[in-house]
């Protein structure tokens, strides 16, 4: 049995405020629950126990030779069955224009945060940064080594504004060649987060997406993306709801396999019926709800969409993570820490009526299925 517990309970007043601001009435109507019960969605206060296997279901199996590539070693996916794998967080990053030191530069502190996540039950974390995001690979190695928490490092390019100058002059094949070499040298277990900075990708962003798809085909390494969805925030130029689907089109156009692709930040699309998420899932790709607990969308609205996916029978294509970035969320500062996806958002789904067996599949099984690959080349 695996047990996670939220250590940042909200008061009833806090929870009601969140629900009122974020569509709690819609959630109550959709789930058929009264507002008093729904107030508890934002107030997880008990341990949630996750059975090691769902009743009546066969144990999760993987193809022979499949591995998850962590920085320190390749591991069989079965070894990460003891807790959540968070597929998109940030343990080392610096996106400031003038490279002002980011809190993650304090590697000793990040080692302690990783240890805390392990104590909270997390089995593995995927770092979603790469060189053009100021990610320090040596820092990740130290965090993994000293904390004992398996860490998957990622390769690729983020978006137009962060690209190295030489990307513009290279072909997608040349970029793919570079990505494959870097993945081997750096022991990357994912390509991500791969993004676009607006609703429509630039010509260079399209080229990079195609290069990432080609590198995936050559290596088997899984891919997760970044979308510019803005939630309920009003912006001058809205991001088309289909942006995530178009990313999937780009990757598949060069032969990428949807079962190792995740379209990211879909939880930041204001789509109560999860129509786009369901369309992505039905094409065989994973759907990233990888900004849970962040203010881009109220979490109750994300609960609505996650439950809609479950109702549509595609919960096995859902991945959860928090895109960890806010310094105030560190354990050191009294926040929930790196495990907040499991300790804060997970219990919200249980309160909304999701079974613990289903939540375990989403947090433990789905990310292992996404990350597992048979190395090629």
pLDDT tens, position by position, 196-235? 999 999 999 999 999 999 999 999 999 999 999 998 887 7
Distance CA 4, CA 174 (A): 45
How is residue 267 written in tokens? 């939880």
CA nearest to 38, candidates 17, 14, 16, 6: 16
Torsion of CA 208, 320, 228, 282, to 10 degrees: 70
* Buried-exposed string 10-30: b where 16+ CB fall within 10 A, e elsewhere: beeeebbebbeebbbeebbeb
The predicted model gives 323-346 an average pLDDT of 97
13 pLDDT above the threshold of 70? no
Cβ proximity of 351 and 41 under 8 Å:
yes
Q: What is the DSSP letter of 160?
A: G
Cβ count within 10 A of residue 91: 28
Distance CA 362, CA 307 (A): 12
Distance CA 33, CA 228 (A): 32
- Ordered DSSP codes for 199-251: SS--HHHHHHHHHHHHHHHHH---EEEE----TT---SSPPPTTHHHHHHHHH
The helix/strand/coil state of 157 is: coil
Q: What is the DSSP letter of 128?
A: -
What confidence tens digit (pLDDT) does each residue in 242-280 have? 999 999 999 999 999 999 999 999 999 999 999 999 999
pLDDT of amino acid 58: 57
Paired residues of 89 in beta bridges: 127
Q: Please give the span between the terminal C-alpha atoms of the chain, in angstroms, as a whole number.
A: 38
37 pLDDT above the threshold of 50? no
Cβ proximity of 292 and 267 under 8 Å:
yes
User: Within a 13 Å sphere around the CA of 178, how many CA atoms are in the beta-carbon half?
Assistant: 15
3 pLDDT above the threshold of 60? no
Looking only at the bridges linking them, the beta strands covering 261-263 and 318-320 are: unpaired
Looking only at the bridges linking them, the beta strands covering 261-263 and 85-89 are: unpaired
Distance CA 358, CA 35 (A): 24
* CA geometry: angle 373, 51, 30, nearest 5 deg: 90
Average confidence score pLDDT of the chain: 88
Distance CA 339, CA 329 (A): 10
- Name the packing angle between helices 203-219 and 243-252 (round to 10°): 50
The total number of residues written for the chain in this structure? 377
* Buried-exposed string 194-205: b where 16+ CB fall within 10 A, e elsewhere: bbbeebebeebb
What confidence tens digit (pLDDT) does each residue in 59-104 have? 799 999 999 999 999 999 999 999 999 999 999 999 998 889 999 9
16 pLDDT above the threshold of 60? no
pLDDT of amino acid 23: 40
The predicted model gives 300-311 an average pLDDT of 98
């Amino acid at each position: 049995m695996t047990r996670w517990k939220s250590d940042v309970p909200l008061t009833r007043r806090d929870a009601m405020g969140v629900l009122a601001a974020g569509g709690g009435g819609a959630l109550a109507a959709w789930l058929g629950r009264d507002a008093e019960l729904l107030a508890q969605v934002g107030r997880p206060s008990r341990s949630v126990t996750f059975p090691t296997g769902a009743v009546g279901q066969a144990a999760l199996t993987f193809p022979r030779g499949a591995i998850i590539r962590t920085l320190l070693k390749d591991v069989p996916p079965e070894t990460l069955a003891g807790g959540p794998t968070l597929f998109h967080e940030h343990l080392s990053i610096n996106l400031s224009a003038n490279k002002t030191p980011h809190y993650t530069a304090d590697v000793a502190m990040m080692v302690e945060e990783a240890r805390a996540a392990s104590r909270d039950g997390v089995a593995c974390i995927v770092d979603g940064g790469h060189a053009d995001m100021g990610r320090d690979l040596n820092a990740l190695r130290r965090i993994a080594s000293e904390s004992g928490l398996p860490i998957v490092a990622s390769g690729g390019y983020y978006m137009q504004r962060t690209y190295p100058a030489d990307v513009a002059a290279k072909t997608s094949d040349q970029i793919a060649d570079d990505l494959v070499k870097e993945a081997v040298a750096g022991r990357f277990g994912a390509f991500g987060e791969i993004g676009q900075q607006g609703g429509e990708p630039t010509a260079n962003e399209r080229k990079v997406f195609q290069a990432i798809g080609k590198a995936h085909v050559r290596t088997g390494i899984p891919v997760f993306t970044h979308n510019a969805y803005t939630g309920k925030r009003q912006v001058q130029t809205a991001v088309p709801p289909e942006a995530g689907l178009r990313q999937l089109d780009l990757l598949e156009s060069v032969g990428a396999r949807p079962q190792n692709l995740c379209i990211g930040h879909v939880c930041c699309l204001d789509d109560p019926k999860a129509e786009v998420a369901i369309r992505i899932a039905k094409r065989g790709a994973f759907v990233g709800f990888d900004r849970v607990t962040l203010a881009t969308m109220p979490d109750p609205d994300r609960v609505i969409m996650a439950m809609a996916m479950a109702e549509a029978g595609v919960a096995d294509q859902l991945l959860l993570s928090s895109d960890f970035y806010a310094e105030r969320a560190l354990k050191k500062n009294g926040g929930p820490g790196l495990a907040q996806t499991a300790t804060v958002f997970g219990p919200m789904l249980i309160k909304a009526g999701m079974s613990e067996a289903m939540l375990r599949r989403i947090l433990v099984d789905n990310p292992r299925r996404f990350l597992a690959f048979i190395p090629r080349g």
